[in-house]
Amino acid sequence: MTAAPPPSTGRELLSPPTDGISNLRFSNHSDHLLVSSWDKSVRLYDASANALRGEFMHGGAVLDCCFHDDTSGFSASADHTVRRLVFNYNREDVLGRHDGPVRCVEYSYATGQVITGSWDKTLKCWDPRSSSGQDRSLVGTYTQPERVYSMSVVGNRVVVATAGRHVNVYDLRNMSQPEQRRESSLKYQTRCVRCYPNGTGYALSSVEGRVAMEFFDLSEAGQSKKYAFKCHRKSEAGRDIVYPVNAIAFHPIYGTFATGGCDGYVNMWDGNNKKRLYQYTKYPTSIAALSFSRDGRLLAVASSYTYEEGDKPHEPDAIYVRSVNEVEVKPKPKMLPNPTS
């Protein structure tokens, strides 16, 4: 007898943001979930207990957030500030500023630095251990070819995706210039970049319903492994309807990955075998962000309209936490041909 399927969309978290969800991230240490929103808030949830543990209000829309450890995190705001959030004391302070809205924030466990990317066309590195004040905590500023749209860190590398389809790969130990300057292999605007957990490359998605699988190894053999595929599209009356792919999240154990699109679907992929493993039941509106818990047992899904069709009536913003079944994320073994008798 087969096991009963998990609830179709997962459990909805109480007290969700009241405007668009810009990102959500699980902690590396617990089932705590950090959520940033256009309603100017960063919220901390205990996803297992379905409880709101803290809320921080900013001066503008919050475009990204990340954990430092289980007691603190960082946020990136449209009010040009980068903030440090201390959960236990419900306290925050300004780590630093950009000259424009701050779109991305990442914490590097390898170097102990906070990395931010802004629409002011710069990347900045900060040392959160320094005494407060921008001049003391700023490690360096690095000019980018265009506005920063998405960013991802793995090990000592940071991958920065900007407007104009530029991709810069940096070694955080030597930020004087990019280790690699690339152009997206997709023809349209980049929505999301996420590094592979094993550190060999990154996946990049676009507004045009495609994902590119890229590798850092520049040798001919290394580059021969890269490919792109179509997803989050449907045929209707003989024509292709294409949806932006807003979110990519890698499973921490199996290295398979989820994509979320403006079609309201979450798909699970096996990148090595170039196969779709699973498609979840449709969510109420666009998928704005995705995150797996540290052990891969939970998947947080932000169902939040991303205004790809302009201002129109839409479902309220919601966060779903779904229990992940191994069959949805574990790569299927390749079938070997039967030996001839």
Provide the residue-wise pLDDT of the chain in tens; the chain has 341 residues. 444 444 578 999 999 999 999 999 999 999 999 999 999 999 999 999 999 999 999 999 999 999 999 999 999 999 999 999 999 999 999 999 999 999 999 999 999 999 999 999 999 999 998 766 666 799 999 999 999 999 999 999 999 999 999 999 999 999 999 999 999 999 999 999 999 999 999 999 999 999 999 999 999 999 999 999 999 999 888 898 999 999 999 999 999 999 999 999 999 999 999 999 999 999 999 999 999 999 999 999 999 988 877 788 888 999 999 999 999 999 988 765 555 54
Quote the CA–CA distance of 32 and 11 in Å, as a whole number: 15
Quote the CA–CA distance of 26 and 292 in Å, as a whole number: 7
79: CB partners within 8 A, 6+ apart: 58, 59, 60, 101
Quote the CA–CA distance of 234 and 231 in Å, as a whole number: 9
In sign, the C-alpha dihedral spanning 271, 272, 276, 277 is: negative
User: What's the Cα-to-Cα distance from 253 to each of 104, 294, 330, rounded to whole Å?
Assistant: 25, 9, 9
Task: DSSP for 250-270, please give it.
Answer: E-TTT--EEEEETTS-EEEEE
CA 170 from centre of chain: 18
Q: What type of residue sits at position 46?
A: D
Entry pTM: 0.94
Quote the CA–CA distance of 331 and 40 in Å, as a whole number: 39
